[in-house]
Amino acid sequence: MPDAPSSGAPLARHLRISGKVQGVGYRIAFEQQARTLGLAGWVRNRLDGSVEALVAGEPKAIEAIIIWSHHGPAAAQVEDVAIIDAGDTALEPGKFERLRTA
């Protein structure tokens, strides 16, 4: 997991979650968690069976969603979470959405 400063400028991370993460409510639970944390971005299923997300917000919120993504909802069986720095990706603050499968 990348080190995130405890406070400061907003960060953006691209996540790719693999394992048993489709058909278990992962996407919906991820969206709810992201909204609770005040993150902007999106989440979607991938045709390969993984879940992909782009999140932006305060460093502590990014760290919290990354920690959460390693286990997800109760029925999920997460095998891996790949995290890529998304730099200064511009996302509308407070807007988080579920996208169609890609």
Please provide the DSSP assignment of 5-69 as one string: -SSSS-EEEEEEEEEE-SSSSHHHHHHHHHHHTT-EEEEEE-TTS-EEEEEEE-HHHHHHHHHHH
Q: Please indicate whether residue 45 is annotated as part of the active site.
A: yes
Catalytic residue among 13, 16, 27, 100: 27
Q: Please indicate whether residue 44 is annotated as part of the active site.
A: no
Catalytic residue among 16, 44, 45, 100: 45
User: Which residues carry out catalysis?
Assistant: 27, 45
